Structure 1
Amino acid sequence: MTSTRESSDAPLVPVPRASWRESMAVYLQPRVLIVLLLGFSSGLPLALSGSTLLIWMTESGVNLRTIGLFALVGTPYTLKFLWAPLVDALHVPLFTRRFGRRRGWLVFSQLLLIAAILLLALTDPAKSPLFVALGALLVAAMSSTQDIVVDAFRVESLPEEEQAAGMASYVAAYRIGMLVSTAGALFMVSAYEGTGLPRGTAWMWGYVTMAAMVLIGTVTALAATEPAQSARAEEATRADSALQRVTKAAIGALSEFLARKDAWAALAFVVLFKFTDAFSGTMTAPFVIDLGFTRNDYAAIVKGVGLAATLIGGFAGGFVARRYSLPTSLWIGGVLQAVANLSFSWLAIVGVNQWALAFAITAENFTSAIGTVIFVAYLSALCKNPLHTATQYALLTALAAVGRTYLSAGAGYVAQATGWPAFFAICVVVAVPSLILLVWLQRRGHFNELGTVRV
C-alpha cells in the first residue's frame, strides 16, 4: 500500500509505506552515515566567519557599523558557482590519483580549510580588522569549496532509496556543526579563559580547537569510497581536455537552467526567500551581547534549547513538505521565519530575561529549520538535469547566500539608526518581496513545470 499527495502544483511520487524498523534502518546505512558526518564538516566553518566571529569582534570593542560590513566576507558563498565547474572537471595533483575525483577534492579542500581557520585564529579584531577580514574570507572560500564537493558526493553516492535519509541526515548534521561552532566555540573560549588565559589568547585557542574538528570530515572522506557515478563520469570524459570538461560543465548547467520559463524570477525568489533570516541573523549575536547577556548565557541557550528547536523544526519542515504542495509549504515556511523576528523585538523590550531569550532563540531556530528544509526541497526540484546537478546546485545555493552576504551588509547601520525593537520589526517587512514573487510564480504556473518533486 502506498501514500500519495495529489497536487496540481508539484506532484509527489508515491511513497511506499514501510515499517518503523525499516524506516529507521536506512539511517544506519554506511553511505548515509558518511553523508551525515560530511554534513557536520560542512556546517562547522560557517559560523567561524559569521556569528561567532561577530561575538569575538563585539567583545573586542569593534563598532556595530564595521561588524555589519563583515557580512561581506561571505562573498565566496555567493560566487562558488563560478568555480564549481572546476571542481566538477579538474583533477587535484596527487589527491585525485590517490583518492579519486570527489574524495581527492574533499581531502584537499578540508586541509586548506584547516589552514585558513588557523590563520584566522592568529588575528586580532581590535588591532587589525583588515587581517581578520582576509582570514575570514579565506575560511569562507575553503568552506564553500568543501560544500560544492560534499553536495556532489551526496547526490552521486546515495542510491534513490537512500536519498531522502541522506538529505535529512545531512541537514541535521549541518545544523549541529553550526551549533558546535557557535555555542560550542563560545563554551570553549570561556573554558580557556577559566584556566587563566587572556581573552584574546582564549579566542585563539577556541578557533584552533574548531580547526581540529574539521578533521572529522577528513577522516570520513578517507574512510568513504569513491561514488560509482563519479568514476563512470571520469571514464566518460577521460579523452576530453581539462578545458573541454570545464566548458561542458559550466555552459551546460547555465544554458539548461536559463532556457526555462520565468528563470530570472525563480532566481530572484531564491535570493530573497531566506533574506529575512539573514538580515536578522547578522545582528542576533551582537544584539544579545549588547542587551546585557553574557557569552555563556547565549551559548547555553543556543546549544541546549536552540539545538532541540532546530532538530524538531527540521522534522516539522519535512512533515509540512510531505503534507502540502511545494508552493503551500513555501508559504508556511516563509511566513513563519519572518514572523519569528518579532520575538527578538519583544526581547529587546523585556530586557535581560533568560526565559525571554530562550523563547526568542527557540522561535528563531524552529522556524528557520522549517524554512530551510522546505527551501532545500525547492532547490532540489530546480536541479532537473543529473548531468549538471552539482554546478546548478552550487549556483542556486550561491544565489541564496546573496541575502546573507550583500543585502545584509547594512544591517548594522539599520540597527544603530532604529534601535533593536524597530530593527527586528523591519526584518519581518523584508520578507514581503519574496512572498510577492511567490504569488507571481504560482500564477505563472512555475511549480507545475517543475515536474515530480521528491521530499
Structure 2
Amino acid sequence: MSVANSLTSGLPQGVFRVYKRERFVDDAVLVINAQHQQGIRYMTEASTTPPLGWAESLRSFLHPRVITMLFLGFSAGIPILLIFSSLSLWLGEAGVERKAVTFFSWAALGYSFKFVWAPLVDKLPLPVLTAALGKRRAWLLLAQASIMLAIVLMGSIDPAAGQQNLTLMALAAVLLGFSSATQDIVIDAYRIEAVETRLQAMMSSTYIAGYRLGMIVAGAGALFLAAWLGSEKGHYLYTAWRWTYFAMAATMLVGVVTTLVIPEPEHRQSDRHHYAVMDYSRLVLVFACAAGGFVAAFFFSSDWFAGLQAAAGGDAFVGFGLEAIHFTLAIAVAALVGWLLVSMGVVNRGMARDTWLEPIKDFFQRYGMKTALLLLALIGLYRITDIVPGVISNVFYQDLGFSKPEIATAVKTFGVVVSIAGGFLGGLFATRYGVMRTLMLGAVLTAFTNLVFVWLAYAGHDVPVMYTAVTADNLAAGFASAAFVAFMSSLTSVSFTAVQYALFSSLMTLFPKTIGGYSGTIVDAIGYPGFFTFTTLIGIPVLWLVWVASSHLDVP
C-alpha cells in the first residue's frame, strides 16, 4: 500500500559491522579457499573501518560522487509509479475495469526477475557505447533511453480506444518495467564501484533521497499535471494524460545528463570467470527465447482459460484460481524453454553453472537446507502485506470519491515524508534493540495497519481518516524497510554479493506482486473491507517466520 514500496533505508555502517561480524568470519573461509584476494580486501575493509564522526559524515555528503547519486536516484524513482499508481488512475479514468487495471502491475515483474539478466549487464559490452563511455555508463545510457521511449509510447496510446490499444499499452508498460529494472542493476553496480566502502552509506542515503524525489514527481506531480490539463474521474481527457506522460519522459533527461558527465568508476572487484562475448550473446538469445515462451504460452492460452472461467459462471474465486494456474503455466513454459536450450548446448554450460548454481550452492552450504528454505520463505513473504494492497490503493481512493489532487497531496507527498520518518525510526530502533526485533515489530505494524483501511472503507470520503490511514501505513512500511535491508544484506556472502542480493531482492517482490495482480478480482468478490482484512490475516504467517528465523540465527 505504501509509497515506500521498493524503497529501503540503509542503517549506519556500525550496525552492519556488529550484525555481520560473525558472517564475515564464515565468508572469509570461502574467500580464502577460493583465493579471492580482492574479496579478502573488501571484507577486511568493511569489517574494520571505524565509523565516521559527525563532522566528517556531513562533509562526506559533499563528495562529488555522493552528490551524483542524488540525480541517479531521481532517475530511478521516475518509472515505477508510471507503471503502478499513476497508470492505475489513468486507466480508471479511461473506464478500464478494475481487475484489468490491477493486472497491469505485472508489468513491473521485471524488477522481480532482474537477476536473470543482471550477469549480462555486468559482463556484456555494448557496440560503440562501451568503447565511448565505459561499461557502466554505456548500459546506463541504454536503459535510460529505453525508459524514455517506453514512457513516450505509453503516452501515445489511448487505453479507452479499445482492447487492441490496451494490449499495446501493456506491452509498453512491460518495456518500461524491464528498462527501469536494468537501470537499477547498473546504478547498484556503479554505487558499489564508484567510492570506497566508508562512503557507501552516504551514497545510499543520497540515492534514496533522490529516488523519493523522483517518486514525488512521477506520483503527485503527474496527478496534479493531469488534473490541471483537464482530466478527472467522470470527465476523461486523453490529451491530458498524453502530455503528462510526455513530461515525465522529459524528466528522465536529468539522468541522461548525469550519465554523460560522470566518470566511469574504477572496477574494485576482479572477475572470477572470463567468457567470450559470444557466450554472453548466446545467453541473451536463451533469455529472449524463454521470455518469448512465457509471452506465447500466456497469450495463446488466454482464450482457453477465458472459456473455463465462462463455464464456471464467472465466479471470482474460480477466476482467481484459473488465472493463477494460467500464470504458473506460462512461467513453467519459460523455464522449460530455457532448460532445453541449455541442455542442447546453446549456451555455455560452465558459464550457466558459475553464474547461477555457485551462488545458490554457497547460500545453502552456509545455512543448511532447512534454515536456507526458511530464510527464503521469509524474504519472499515479508513485504506481502505492504505490496498486495499497494496495487489497488489509488483505485480504492478513487472509488471513495477522492480527487487526484487530494490523492497526490496525501499519498504522494505527505506519505513520502512520513515514510522517510519511518525509516529513520526503524534505523534508530535497530541500532538500539537489534535487527531481528525491529523486523518482528515491522511485520506486526505493516500487517495490522491495514485494518485502518477497513475503517476508511466504511468512512468513505473522509479526509482526516484518509490521512490517518496514510500516516499509519507509510510509517510502518518505512520502519520495517530499515531492518529488512540490513537483514537481507547480512545473508549475502561477500564472494557472491551481486547475484545473491539480486536473487533476494527479486524474491522479495515476486510473490507479493503476483498476488497483487489479482487484488481487483479479490475486491470484486469480497469488497474493500474484506480485502483489507484479508491482507492483515496473510501477514500473520510472516510473524511466525520471523520468530522461527530468530531462533535459527545467532543475531540480535
Note the 1:189-228 alignment, pairs <5 A.
Answer: 189-193=226-230, 199-228=237-266
Q: State the AA in 2 paired with 1:409.
A: G
1:10, distance to aligned residue in structure 2 (A)? 5.8
Partner of 1:257: 363
1:251 is displaced (CA, Å) by: 4.1
The DSSP-based 3-state class of the residue aligned with 2:127 is coil
Equivalent residue number for residue 192 of structure 2: 155
| Matched-pair contact (CA < 8 Å) for 1:88–1:246 | no
C-alpha contact (below 8 Å) 2:436/2:483 kept by paired residues: no
CA deviation digits over 1:287-318, x for unaligned, max 9?
00000111111112224321221221222222
Q: Which residue of 2 aligns with 1:168?
A: 205
Does residue 439 of structure 2 align to residue 439 of structure 1?
Answer: no
Q: How many residues align?
A: 442
Q: Which amino acid is 1:44 matched to?
A: I
Choose which of 186, 196, 199 in structure 1 pairs with 2:223.
Answer: 186
Aligned partner (choices 116, 134, 155) of residue 100 of structure 1: 134
Q: Matched residue of 2:424: which SS?
A: helix
TM-score normalised per structure 2: 0.74
Q: Is the 8 A contact 1:10 1:325 kept in 2?
A: no
Asked whether the 8 Å contact 1:271–1:399 carries over to 2, the reply is yes
| Letter of the 1:290 counterpart | D
**What is the match of residue 311 of structure 1?**
420
Return the offset for 1:200: 0.6
Contact 1:280 1:424 in 2 (8 A): yes
Q: Which amino acid in 2 is paired with 1:395? A: L
**Identity across aligned pairs (percent)?**
35
Q: Distance in 2 between matches of 1:299 and 1:320?
A: 30
Unpaired runs of at least 5, structure 2: 1-12, 23-46, 280-347
Report the residue type matching 2:499 in the other structure.
Answer: T
Measured in 1, the distance between the counterparts of 2:198 and 2:278 equals 34
Secondary structure at 2:229's aligned position in 1?
helix
Offset at 1:379? 2.1
Give the structure 2 partner of residue 422 of structure 1: 530
Counterpart CA distance in 2 for 1:198 and 1:349 is 27
Find the aligned partners of 2:366 and 2:438 in 1 and give their Cα distance. Answer: 23
Q: 2:166 aligns with which of 129, 136, 140?
A: 129
**3-state SS of the aligned residue for 1:45?**
helix
Cα distance in 2 between the residues matched to 1:104 and 1:7: 34
Instruction: Tell me how far apart the structure 2 counterparts of residues 8 and 135 of structure 1 sit (CA, whole Å).
Output: 45
Distance across 2 between alignment mates of 1:31 and 1:7? 23
**Does the 8 Å CA contact 1:278/1:403 hold for their aligned counterparts?**
no
Q: Which residue of 2 aligns with 1:397?
A: 505
Q: TM-score, normalised by structure 1?
A: 0.89
Equivalent residues in 2 for 1:367-406, closer than 5 Å: 367-386=476-495, 388-406=496-514
Alignment of 1:317-356 (within 5 A): 317-356=426-465
Offset at residue 382 of structure 1 (A): 2.2
Q: 1:428 to 1:220 in 2, by over 3 A?
A: same
Which amino acid in structure 1 is aligned with residue 413 of structure 2? G
Note if 1:289 corresponds to 2:398. Answer: yes
Find the residue that maps to 2:517 and give its secondary structure. coil
How many angstroms apart in 2 are the aligned matches of 1:298 and 1:429? Answer: 26
> What are the ranges of 5 or more consecutive residues in structure 1 without an aligned counterpart?
none
Measure, in 2, the Cα distance between the counterparts of 1:98 and 1:288.
Answer: 48
Q: How does 1:25-44 map to 2 (within 5 A)?
A: 25-44=59-78
Greater Cα radius of gyration, structure 1 or 2: 2
